[in-house]
Structure 1
Amino acid sequence: MAPHGSPDGTNVQSAKKEESDNNLTKSKTNEASQPEASGTISQIEISQKISNFLSVVFVPPLLTLFSFAVVAFRFAPENGEPWLMLLYTSLFTVVIPLLLYVILRKKGHISDRDARDRHERHLLYTISSVVIFFGYFVIPWGMHSQEIKFLYIIYLYNLIFLFCINLFWKISAHLMGAGGMVGTLVFSFGLWGWASLPVVLSLGWARYTLKCHTLAQMILGAAFGIANTLLLFYYLPFLQLT
């Protein structure tokens, strides 16, 4: 056994002191890193909240309502009733499909808010298409200009188009709705309509952050929405629909 004042005793005390210092350093390091980790979690939570907010604000039915409002008032004839026309079109393209979504959600046919499983979208798209098709023969189109009827047909076409793709793959309905809105604004206001593209970009960021779609699904959704809408707006007048 080493005496109290021997070198061996001194080495033992030094080792204990060094170990104690190391533990204290580690403790301080962990304490210092906790706020940083907490800050990282907060940033993720903030991104999630912003993404959820954008997904709700720019939900397809609301984008549709906005598009119909723009066309109803932008192309309203002098003796037209844009508010009444907006009411008719919104009933079949916004109100009834939204009620249908709520019913299917409560019945368990749609398991989550975003209907991430594409198979759960089939019934919603099918019934909504039938409702909108029926509405075409009910709405009194004669009280307004042709443009509002064209938009109604375009909306039905885009929904059927979305349904057909959804049978095999999934593209973003949010981005297709936003693309349709951009196409409508470009048709209504010319180049100024492209100023609405930030809506598409912000919504794309939100849907990607929420991991609802791949980048390809979002790009194609927006591209088809814009292209289909613009092409049909310029092509439908040649059919001379009455």
Structure 2
Amino acid sequence: MQFDIRRFASLVSWVISPVVVAPAVYLFVVLIGYREEPRHYEWLTVLFLAATIAPMFLIYGLKKIGKVSDYNISFREQRFLPLFVLVGLNLIGYELMKQLDSPRFLSGILFFNAVNTVVILLVTLQWKISIHLFSLTSSIALLVLFFGPQFLGLLVFMPLLMWSRIHLRAHNFMQTLVGGIIGFLMMYLEFKWWLTL
């Protein structure tokens, strides 16, 4: 059986995608870091709804009515509306987390998801940054901040995902590299500030 390199690149792109990586990190942080807290399932539910489930339904709906051409929203011009709605969804989630007296770390995830989506939205007006890479490295930054520097090793997946997105012609090298670097640095520096307030 012949190895299909494009299919492998597509598999990598889906496995290390925002809809897989981010919820996996949320699950890990909440169930390991806050499992003794009586409301941890409520916090996890809000995280999943605001940052994963609602966005998935949004993109599915936009694809269904023809507002986006594919689930990865490959065309830069089609990204403004879904990104704008995602900002609102994350801010609603942030407010819900505050009402549920969540730890500052968890509410910060949704707050900075909103902030960082605004940054991506503004960049998208002129350039196409890789949201896949941004999501991967910002998620790794959360693990490093919460559990420690041993999770820096997960950055080995960054070159693999870069290759995948480039091979699929979804992005060029600079779009993936900048997405990865900015994703990690922004989330890391934002939380360093957020957790000292």
Cα distance, 1:71 vs. partner?
2.4
Task: Name 1:21's counterpart in structure 2.
Answer: none
Identify which of 111, 118, 122 aligns with 2:69: 111
How far is the alpha carbon of 1:203 from its aligned partner? Answer: 1.1
Go from structure 1 to structure 2 and tell me whether the alpha carbon gap of 1:113 and 1:144 turns closer, same or farther (over 3 Å shift). Answer: closer
**Which residues of 2 match residues 203-222 of structure 1 at below 5 A?**
203-222=161-180
TM-score of the aligned structures, taking structure 2 as reference length: 0.92
Structure 1 residue 141 displacement after superposition: 5.2
1:101 and 1:162 map into 2 onto residues whose CA distance is 17
What RMSD in Å do the two structures reach over aligned CA positions?
1.8
Query: Runs of at least 4 residues of structure 1 off by over 4 A?
Result: 140-143
Paired residue for 2:45? 87
Structure 1 residues 156-175: aligned runs within 5 Å: 156-175=114-133
Q: Give the match for residue 188 of structure 2.
A: 230
- Give the distance between the partners of 2:110 and 2:140, measured in 1 at CA: 15
Q: Choose the corresponding residue for 1:55, options 13, 20, 31.
A: 13
User: In structure 1, how many angstroms separate the alpha carbons of the residues matched to 2:71 and 2:5?
Assistant: 18
Residues 142 and 102 from structure 1, CA distance in 2 versus in 1: closer, same or farther, beyond 3 angstroms? closer
Runs of 5+ unmatched residues, structure 2? none
Match for 2:129: what amino acid?
I
SS of structure 2 residue aligned to 1:185? helix
In 2, the alpha carbon distance for the partners of 1:108 and 1:214 equals 25
SS state at 1:114 partner: coil
Is residue 76 from structure 1 mapped to residue 68 from structure 2 by the alignment?
Answer: no
SS of 1:138 mapped into structure 2: helix
Counterpart of 1:171 in 2: which secondary structure? coil
Partners of 1:139 and 1:165 in 2: CA distance: 28
Q: How many residue pairs get matched?
A: 197
The percentage of counterpart residues that share the same residue type is 22
Larger Cα-atom Rg: 1
What's the CA shift for 1:143? 4.3
**Structure 1 residue 54: Cα displacement:** 1.2
Query: Counterpart of 1:147 in 2: which secondary structure?
Result: helix
Paired residue type of 2:24: F
The separation in 1 between residues aligned to 2:191 and 2:124, in whole angstroms, is 24
Q: Normalising by the residue count of structure 1, what TM-score does the alignment of the two structures yield?
A: 0.76
1:198-239 deviation per Cα after TM superposition (whole angstroms, max 9, x unaligned): 222211111011011010000000001100111011101233
C-alpha deviation, 1:140, in angstroms: 4.9
Alpha-carbon contact 1:141-1:149 (below 8 Å) kept: no
C-alpha displacement of 1:77? 6.8
The structure 1 residue matched to 2:78, chosen from 117, 120, 126, is 120
SS of residue matched to 1:169: coil
Letter in 1 for 2:150: W
Query: Matched residues in 1 for 2:99 and 2:186: separation?
Result: 22
